[in-house]
A and B are shown apart, each in its own frame.
Chain A
Amino acid sequence: DGGITQSPKYLFRKEGQNVTLSCEQNLNHDAMYWYRQDPGQGLRLIYYSQIVNDFQKGDIAEGYSVSREKKESFPLTVTSAQKNPTAFYLCASSVNRGRRDTEAFFGQGTRLTVV
């Protein structure tokens, strides 16, 4: 059964700690994305990767880091430098067909709460 798996579903972090959110896909997609969702603000792009070992900053990359060592995996680290990390985080992937279409498939999300 192909899809995108995010883990954990809920995550609690103390202030000052780094935390890593997992995203794995078995769709053989080249591109992967991380979005942050806050109420009333839609989805904002944190980082994206079009190919293994390469990634680009999105609109709100400060305080976050990523790696793309394998095609299937795109973990997101929320560092202590992120001033307001409490949010719902969504991972997505898409086929990179070389055209300008980007039909993205989403995971079920991770809700991060700083306590």
Chain B
Amino acid sequence: GEDVEQSLFLSVREGDSSVINCTYTDSSSTYLYWYKQEPGAGLQLLTYIFSNMDMKQDQRLTVLLNKKDKHLSLRIADTQTGDSAIYFCASAGGTSYGKLTFGQGTILTVHP
């Protein structure tokens, strides 16, 4: 079945950029999502990208998609302490029609 992989931890200094990476296996995935989860809470959709796009920018967030390598990244500019959370990459479509397949999540820690 579909598999989505992320690195587990990322630590950055406040004001720096953060880059969270994700790889997926289903080349027919049509939508790719980034979700944020704060402690003890549900998931909040941050942004998404359609598979025919290479890049999407939304304020401090930039999503890059390399469809050939099946690699997705989320860049957070000017990272703040409030950005500390778990970030999940998810794919939809293809063999995962009608449901999302999630990565393990990346724990982002922002130091003052």
Contact = CB atoms under 8 A, between A and B. Distances in A.
Given A33-B99, A102-B31, A106-B42, A41 B93 contact: no
Given A40-B8, A40-B104, A100-B92, A106 B98 contact: no
Nearest to A31: B98
Size class of the contact patch on chain B? 20 to 34
Nearest to B28: A100
Nearest to B43: A106
A96 interface: yes
Interface string B43-54: 111001010000
Interface residues of A, number: 30
Contacts of A2: none
Contact of B98 (A41, A50, A90): A50
Interface string B20-53: 0000000000110101000011111100101000
- Greatest chain B CB density within 10 A among A50, A100, A106 is at A100
Given A33-B100, A42-B103, A48-B99, 14 more contacts: A33-B99, A42-B104, A42-B105, A43-B43, A45-B101, A50-B98, A92-B100, A100-B94, A101-B30, A102-B31, A102-B92, A104-B43, A106-B35, A106-B44
Interface of B: 1, 4, 6, 8, 30-31, 33, 35, 40-45, 48, 50, 88, 92-94, 97-105
- In the A-B complex, list the 3 residue pairs whose CB atoms are closest, starting with the nearest: A100-B93, A106-B42, A42-B104
